[in-house]
Amino acid sequence: MKKGDCTGCHNPHTSDFKKLLSAEPKKICSTCHPSVAPKDAKSVHKVVADGECLKCHDPHSSMVKNNLLKPGNELCLDCHKSLSGRIAKAKVQHAPVKKDCLICHAPHGSAKEASLLKERITALCAGCHKTDQPIFVKKHMNYPVANSNCVYCHDPHGSDRKGILYNNVHKPVSAMMCNQCHEEATSPNALKTKREGAELCKGCHNEMYNTAFGKNRIHSPLLTKQACLSCHNPHAGKEKGLLREAPIQLCGKCHADTIKRQEMSVTKHEPVKGGECAACHDPHASNAPLLMKQESVVDGCGTCHDWMKHSTHPIGDKFKDPRNKNRNLDCLSCHRSHGTEFKGMLPFKTVTDLCVQCHEKFRR
């Protein structure tokens, strides 16, 4: 543009692309800028991967350096609106966040860390927070955390707690009682936990532990070496119950097929749509199949739906499914709780197609 050479991007006579561009819109920038993201990047900005350069840059000119559409954080937070709201509401703010997102993040891609971070998390934080200073050591109860992952406890974008701890903090952490779970700070294995797996959590959560392990069906993560830590953060977190992620993302890591089914569903089941898996399922253990909270499907659905007003179709323990004598007729005989490609979460396109599965004499 400075040279007045429009043919650098446009063909003056004819083109297969809009605006007479000389190459595919999503690839034209790479003809001059082939390597904005590092090779073998650990993370790449989605707009870069999608070739959507114009979401951040003006191809002709701009009042902002690097032809950006808007200055600084204003541009980033245009897309990251949920993060923008959190930052604005945080009572304790992180100085770099207020100043410039690019202090910590690379705009195109990072060869070193996820989330476009310029360095590994520990090294990045240590650039400002000197881990050998007495105040740092004291705040961490003399535990050797200099090489630990800081975002296990701290929210880098700000929070409502001192030290930008996540808003939900495990009680021993907030009480500065690290030795309740870990060896003493003076121990050569100071960061080692006193017990392994669920046995450690049992010390405080004894009632939950006994209830869960007294049930017929236990959620498989509880039986692994990580046990409770498969789903919960031991120190602090954004989510209630110290969940590692929002329920829909957390459950979706193992149950991706179920989440995908809901996304494709014509009729959305509200608990699944809202990511409230625990509305129907017990995340720890249950005596019912599929970890349902209620042993009776009818009772479970009845907590939200008055089925008596919906239908007079016989359902319950007294009625057997004609298609499978080992099953009772219940709500799931006609509906799929996680959704289908048909209305009403039905497994068939029309009500007639569904009914004639049992009432064969009415087939046409």
pLDDT > 90 fraction of the chain, expressed in percent and rounded? 82
* Residues 6 or more apart whose Cβ sits within 8 Å of residue 242: 168, 170, 232, 233, 234, 236
Task: Write phi, then psi, for 92 (nearest 5 degrees).
Answer: -115, 115
Task: Write phi, then psi, for 127 (nearest 5 degrees).
Answer: -65, -30
**Is pLDDT of 146 > 80?**
yes
The two three-digit tokens of residue 82, written as one number:
């949920």
**Is pLDDT of 67 > 90?**
yes
Average pLDDT over residues 252-274: 90
**Is pLDDT of 34 > 90?**
no
- What's the full length of the chain, in residues? 364
- In contact, 301 and 307? CB cutoff 8 Å: yes
Write the DSSP string, 284-338. SEESSGGGBSSSSHHHHHHTT--HHHH-----EEEEEETTEEEEEE-GGGT--TT
**Per-residue 3-state assignment (H helix, E strand, C coil) for 127-193:** CCCCCCCHHHHHHCCCCCCCCCCHHHCECCCCECCHHHECCEECHHHHCCCHHHCECCCCCCCCCCE
Question: What confidence score (pLDDT) does residue 23 get?
Answer: 92
Which of residues 212 and 275 earns the better pLDDT score? 212
Q: How far apart (Å, rounded) are the C-alpha atoms in residues 268 and 274?
A: 9
Average pLDDT over residues 331-357: 93
* 141 half-sphere exposure, CB direction, 13 A CA radius: 17
The alpha-carbon radius of gyration of the chain (Å, integer) is: 28
* Residues 6 or more apart whose Cβ sits within 8 Å of residue 18: 25
Q: How far apart (Å, rounded) are the C-alpha atoms in residues 188 and 183?
A: 9
Between the alpha carbon of residue 78 and those of residues 47, 81, 116, the distances in Å are 13, 6, 17
Q: Which of 121-130, 241-250, 301-310 has the lowest mean pLDDT?
A: 301-310
> CA-based angle 230:231:237, to the nearest 5?
120
Average pLDDT over residues 249-262: 91
Q: How far apart (Å, rounded) are the C-alpha atoms in residues 261 and 252?
A: 11
Average pLDDT over residues 326-345: 92
Q: How far apart (Å, rounded) are the C-alpha atoms in residues 163 and 152?
A: 13
* Residues 6 or more apart whose Cβ sits within 8 Å of residue 352: 362
Q: How far apart (Å, rounded) are the C-alpha atoms in residues 15 and 130?
A: 57
Between the alpha carbon of residue 206 and those of residues 2, 203, 211, 282, 346, the distances in Å are 71, 6, 8, 17, 42
Residue with tokens 């209830």: 211
User: Mean pLDDT, the chain, as a whole number?
Assistant: 92
Q: How far apart (Å, rounded) are the C-alpha atoms in residues 197 and 79?
A: 39
Q: How far apart (Å, rounded) are the C-alpha atoms in residues 5 and 183?
A: 68
Question: What confidence score (pLDDT) does residue 240 get?
Answer: 93
pTM: 0.81
**Is pLDDT of 311 > 90?**
no
- Crossing angle (nearest 10°) for helices 81-89 and 72-79: 120
288 pLDDT band, cuts 50/70/90, is very high
